[in-house]
């Protein structure tokens, strides 16, 4: 990974339209309350058909746009456009919700001159409320003609709900003898505990990639990035990540057998990990990112379990918010994680300060440990000392503001 990462360059101010042939726009349509206070409809367009891959929430309750996008992707295998709205999840809306999501496809298709099944649909916001279709139609009609290579930031803004910052990145790498670009944007701040992806994520590339290889790549990278974050332990009804590869870089289609495949995977992971960490750092009411690094686990799966349980523990999260060096909360989380643990072998560090060894507390400088907990990110290191498995997971602290934000989410 380190060797391939050295061949990857981050593009300053890059985003979802950095790859060749991708256009985007974001407009305000008043989706949530009729007031055009913020952008809430985003359009992403590929100038040529793009091979597409998707990963979706494992929540048994799944929103209409997710179901419609999944169906279209299974039919087509390619996409030309994605339409996203914020402020309304179009979830738990029955047959009307499905019809509305398909109508969104049709409106985009008509305006862009493409087939409805070439349009992915995503929504985020309040659950159980029908979409205001008059505003949706007006917003889509306005957005499609505005799509441009400069519209990535407007698209990133349009998909936000309680997010405080736009989440964007793009990278370049030399693959198959040519320059390939991968860009992405995501939204997510609360109801984040993915078992597939993030709240919503959209990744684009001008690389040419074979269909099955693209899907495999997205799943592999998702497992190491979006599936390693948590904000509040809740898995959304609308979680979805779409990856579009339009091939405009001009090389032959990549497969996992290509000699540069590791470079493509590494570049894709750089994009996904940046977005995942940014989501965790932007958790509702959060003040700091938490990173848990677990080594010495019996297996990688055990390391993942322990790391995710640490960053997902409300007690660990509140200890970070209060800068309380209560290492016992980490030990508790490790023990309940389901990972194989031999208590008398566990070692724990808060930043650079070792606070436990052989499963027991050490004498340490509380002031120094408190300083480590005031840093951003806060890094916990755990060595289980029972094997070679290792993994990292990412989360955020839990503050008073999380309750305030979610106590009045609909208003």
Q: Write down the pLDDT at residue 242.
A: 97
Per residue in 374-385, pLDDT (tens digit) is 999 999 999 999
N residues, the chain: 411
Residue 197 is predicted with a pLDDT of: 47
Taking the C-alpha atoms of residue 182 and residue 14, their distance in angstroms, rounded to an integer, is 9
Residues of the chain with CATH 3.60.70.12: 2-281
> Which residues lie below 8 Å from residue 196, measured CB to CB, with a gap of 6+?
55, 56, 57, 58, 222, 226, 227, 239, 241
CB 244, CB 204: distance < 8 Å: yes
Pairwise CA distance, residues 263 & 174, whole Å: 8
* CA–CA distance, 192 with 161 (Å, rounded to integer): 13
Residue 233: per-residue pLDDT: 63
The answer to whether 238 and 64 are in contact (CB under 8 A) is: no
Those residues of the chain that have pLDDT short of 50 are: 1-2, 196-198
Sign, CA dihedral 45-4-220-293, equals negative
Active site residue 198: yes
- Cα distance between residue 275 and residue 51, in whole Å: 22
Q: What is the pLDDT of residue 356?
A: 97
Using an 8 Å Cβ cutoff, are 277 and 196 in contact? no
User: Which letter does DSSP use for residue 105 in this model?
Assistant: H
SS3 state of residue 176: coil
pLDDT of residue 57: 85
Q: Which of 124, 198, 235, 278 is catalytic?
A: 198
At 104 the pLDDT is 98
Prediction pTM value: 0.89
**What residue spans in the chain does CATH classification 3.10.20.340 cover?**
289-407
CA distances from 129 to 63, 135, 184 (A): 11, 14, 29
CATH 3.60.70.12 is held by the domain 2-281 = yes
Rounded CA separation 121/85 (Å): 9
3-state secondary structure of 225: coil
**C-alpha to C-alpha distance for 389 and 310, rounded to whole angstroms:** 16
Q: State the fold for domain 289-407.
A: Ubiquitin-like (UB roll) (3.10.20)
Query: Is the Cβ–Cβ distance between 236 and 280 less than 8 Å?
Result: no
Cα–Cα distance measured from residue 348 to residue 355, given in angstroms and rounded to the nearest whole number: 6
């Amino acid at each position: 990974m380190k060797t391939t990462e050295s061949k990857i360059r981050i593009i300053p101010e890059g985003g979802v339209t950095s790859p060749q042939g991708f256009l985007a726009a974001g407009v305000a349509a008043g989706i949530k309350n009729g007031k055009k206070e913020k952008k809430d409809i985003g359009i992403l367009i590929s100038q040529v058909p793009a091979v597409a891959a998707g990963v979706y929430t494992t929540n048994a309750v799944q929103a209409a746009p997710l179901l419609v996008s999944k169906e279209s992707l299974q039919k087509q295998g390619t996409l030309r456009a994605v339409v996203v709205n914020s402020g309304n999840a179009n979830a738990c809306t029955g047959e009307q919700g499905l019809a509305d999501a398909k109508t969104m496809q049709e409106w985009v298709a008509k305006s862009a001159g493409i087939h409805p099944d070439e349009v992915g649909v995503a929504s985020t916001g309040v659950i159980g409320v029908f979409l205001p279709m008059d505003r949706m139609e007006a917003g889509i009609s306005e957005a499609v003609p505005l799509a441009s290579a400069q519209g990535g930031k407007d698209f990133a803004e349009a998909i936000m709900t309680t997010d405080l910052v736009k989440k964007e990145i793009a990278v370049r790498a030399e693959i198959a003898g040519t320059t390939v670009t991968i860009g992405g944007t995501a939204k997510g701040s609360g109801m984040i505990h993915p078992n597939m992806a993030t709240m919503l994520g959209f990744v684009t590339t001008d690389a040419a990639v074979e269909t099955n290889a693209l899907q495999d790549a997205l799943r592999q990278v998702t497992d190491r990035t979006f599936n390693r974050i948590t904000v509040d332990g809740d898995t959304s009804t609308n979680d979805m990540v779409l990856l579009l590869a339009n091939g405009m870089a001009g090389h032959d289609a990549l497969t996992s057998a290509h000699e540069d495949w590791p470079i493509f995977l590494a570049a894709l992971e750089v994009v996904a990990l940046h977005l995942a960490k940014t989501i965790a750092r932007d958790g509702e009411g959060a003040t700091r990112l938490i990173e848990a690094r677990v080594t010495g686990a019996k297996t990688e799966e055990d390391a993942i379990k322990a790391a995710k349980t640490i960053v997902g523990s409300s007690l660990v999260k509140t200890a970070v918010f209060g800068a309380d060096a209560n290492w016992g909360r980490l030990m508790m989380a490790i023990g309940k994680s389901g990972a194989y643990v031999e208590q008398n072998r566990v070692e724990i560090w808060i930043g650079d300060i070792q606070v436990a060894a052989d499963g027991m507390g050490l004498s340490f400088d509380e002031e120094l440990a408190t300083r480590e907990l005031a840093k951003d990110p806060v890094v916990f290191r755990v060595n289980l000392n029972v094997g070679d498995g290792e993994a990292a997971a990412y989360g955020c602290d839990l503050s008073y503001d999380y309750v305030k934000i979610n106590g009045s989410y609909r208003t």
